[in-house]
Structure 1
Amino acid sequence: MTSASSFPKIRKPGRDFRWPGGQHVAVVFNLAYEAWSDGKAPGIGPMGNPLPPGTFDANALSWGTYGAVTGIERLLRILDRQKVKASTMVSGVFAERNPDQVRAIFNAGHEIVAHSYAQDIIPAGLTEAENKDNVIRTTEALASITGARPKGWMSPRGTAGLDTMRVLVDQGYDWQGDVLDTDAPYLQTFENGDIIAVPFNMEINDLPHAMRFGRTPAQYLALFDDFLSHTLKVNDGALIIDVTAHAHCYGRAGGAWAYEEIAKRASGRDDVYVATRGEIAAHTRAILGA
């Protein structure tokens, strides 16, 4: 059954909405720090030949584990060198498996974004009770390590369940990133409260870029350059450029350099607003008076 809470009232900023400083282009650096439940493996991996149905993909799991073992630290060093703060999507299970790393991300000033308890726990496939349990479990796990409840949520695959937003509102979340339907953030009001929807875009995202389309790190950089240069030419309303790296994909040396090069090119500019998703949500609330 479709819940009434699945259909919120929407309030969008006007066409004159701009970022702090008057810019119309915002750049957000996203890190995906992801893990899978015990006995589960990523649905994709580096090997092209399929396994027989039902075979556990140990190769894909080892590939995915690279993010926690090596990739996340490389990407954090990049952000530190370039003095950029990221919105870091963190699987709740890392509060148990790697609490020191979660704490280090938080203490470095990066935004902790709740990213479900594990990558295989996708809200769209959960019941109402399971959605609630997953949000609460993830929230409390991350808060137990950082001392602060996360204020933003992004589901694995960006795929929320029918009841996810209502649960996020009940749990005091300020924003969610499971929307791709517009360029600028907006307010969603459900029967139990409201939440800012901060849209996500996939143009500069290493996982589909490399694993689905087979593009190179140089093309990742070129896509960013083209996206930024052309949007700066036309002040056609506020928009966000998401630059996303997964710790197990472009956390590797072969791709990390391109992420760093984008950070070099974006940081310190006066014609773009480099921000976290939480900062974007806070600005939107202030503009809307919500």
Structure 2
Amino acid sequence: MTLPPYSSKQAAAREFDWPNGARIAVVVTCLWENWSGDKGPPFSVQTTSLKPGTHDRAAMTWGTYGTRNGVWRLLKILDEHQAPSTFVANAQSMEFSPEAVDQILKSGHEIAAHSYTQDALMAYLKPDEERAMVEKCVAVFQKLTGAPPKGWLSPVLAPTADTEEIIAEAGFLWYGDYNNIDLPFCVDTRKGMLVALPHTDFADHRVLRANPRDWFEVYKDTFDYLYANEPAAYLNITVHCHFGGRPLMAAQVDRILRYIRGFPGIWLVRHDELAQWIKDNKIGEWTSQQRFFKRPA
């Protein structure tokens, strides 16, 4: 099978090790989301089967939990573990709670852009509309944080063929809409360089209907495998404020942070700090073939 090409020229690959001999880089992604109007997440635990056109207040109120409560609980847990993280935020979520914005920054975390609302998908937009959406989000960041965001992750990782270059042209440091990479690396686009950051294949909404402990087990098992078998590995632990900020899931966030903190050689790092290191060291893609099956000299 032929893999789909990137839309941009990739930087030349070379091997690398994490700073200070770290065995694994771990990033924590906290998705801070909201939906427009009276909409809510279509996949929430409280989504109900209603007649078309019926207002689903259960889903709508479920989706507002992240801003009202979840973001604060996750901040408490992250601070208790001294775990730097990146809050990937819909700009409207930030407008709803500038107090949370202030506390996230005060606690030493990054805030990255995630469109304006969770249902404002880039995949639905034309290039000029995408640019306008990015500009709208940047303006919110400038107003509430005093600086533009350094990172962009599209809602549901649904970009267009133009999004990568639009993000580069806007001056972002890192971009996360990649589903076919294992490690971060520099990508040269026609509009400038970006650092590509891998996302995750597993988020908290997949287990909340069943057993929240499964979320912990998935990340624990993945961490254990990478730590034991793949030096200079990378793990993105992802949680939603409106899902993972609830006590039954937050307990698992507390567990996984406590667990990985018990190992030496862990680089627990924010997305922007990791991306800046990748850029400063001009790291190109290091594929699994190159990592595991090196050609003889």
TM-score by length of 2: 0.88
Aligned-partner residue type, residue 127 of structure 1: K
Residue number in structure 2 paired with 1:173:
172
Per-residue CA deviation, residues 142-188 of structure 1 (Å, 9 max, x unaligned), is 22111121100101101112222222112110001111211111222
CA-CA distance at 1:289 after TM superposition: 6.9
The answer (yes or no) to whether the contact 2:32–2:87 under 8 Å persists in 1 is: yes
Aligned-partner residue type, residue 200 of structure 2: N
Residue 71 of structure 1: SS of its match in structure 2? helix
Residue number in structure 2 paired with 1:63:
62
Q: 1:239 aligns with which of 211, 233, 243?
A: 233
Residue 26 of structure 2: SS of its match in structure 1? strand
Is 1:267 the counterpart of 2:261 in the alignment? yes
Distance in 2, Cα, partners of 1:39 & 1:218: 31
Mark the CA change 1:209 to 1:179 in structure 2 (over 3 Å): closer, same or farther.
farther
Residue 200 of structure 1: SS of its match in structure 2? coil
Per-residue CA deviation, residues 195-231 of structure 1 (Å, 9 max, x unaligned), is 111111223x212333xxx442222212222111121
Across the two proteins, how many residue pairs are aligned to each other?
279
The answer (yes or no) to whether the contact 2:216–2:253 under 8 Å persists in 1 is: yes
Is 1:224 the counterpart of 2:224 in the alignment? no
Mark the CA change 1:142 to 1:65 in structure 2 (over 3 Å): closer, same or farther.
same
Per-residue CA deviation, residues 211-259 of structure 1 (Å, 9 max, x unaligned), is xxx4422222122221111212213x53321111111111111110110
Residue 21 of structure 2: SS of its match in structure 1? coil
Q: Any unmatched runs of 5+ in structure 2?
A: 1-5, 285-297
Distance in 1, Cα, partners of 2:74 & 2:283: 36
Mark the CA change 1:229 to 1:21 in structure 2 (over 3 Å): closer, same or farther.
same
When the two chains are superposed, the root-mean-square deviation of aligned CA atoms in Å is: 1.9
Is 1:98 the counterpart of 2:92 in the alignment? no
Is 1:286 the counterpart of 2:275 in the alignment? no
Aligned-partner residue type, residue 212 of structure 2: P
* Counterpart mapping for 1:37-56 below 5 A: 37-47=36-46, 49-56=48-55
The answer (yes or no) to whether the contact 1:198–1:280 under 8 Å persists in 2 is: no
Per-residue CA deviation, residues 100-133 of structure 1 (Å, 9 max, x unaligned), is 2112212211111101001000111111111001
CA-CA distance at 1:49 after TM superposition: 4.5
Residue number in structure 1 paired with 2:186:
187
Residue number in structure 2 paired with 1:256:
250
Residue number in structure 2 paired with 1:26:
25
Percent identical residues: 30
Distance in 1, Cα, partners of 2:175 & 2:232: 18
Aligned-partner residue type, residue 9 of structure 2: K
Residue number in structure 2 paired with 1:206:
204
Is 1:117 the counterpart of 2:111 in the alignment? no
* Counterpart mapping for 1:98-177 below 5 A: 98-177=97-176
Distance in 2, Cα, partners of 1:124 & 1:56: 25
Mark the CA change 1:96 to 1:223 in structure 2 (over 3 Å): closer, same or farther.
closer
Distance in 2, Cα, partners of 1:53 & 1:260: 40
The answer (yes or no) to whether the contact 2:41–2:47 under 8 Å persists in 1 is: no
Mark the CA change 1:268 to 1:229 in structure 2 (over 3 Å): closer, same or farther.
closer
Distance in 1, Cα, partners of 2:276 & 2:245: 29
Residue 19 of structure 2: SS of its match in structure 1? coil
CA-CA distance at 1:12 after TM superposition: 5.5
Distance in 1, Cα, partners of 2:176 & 2:191: 19
Q: Any unmatched runs of 5+ in structure 1?
A: 1-5
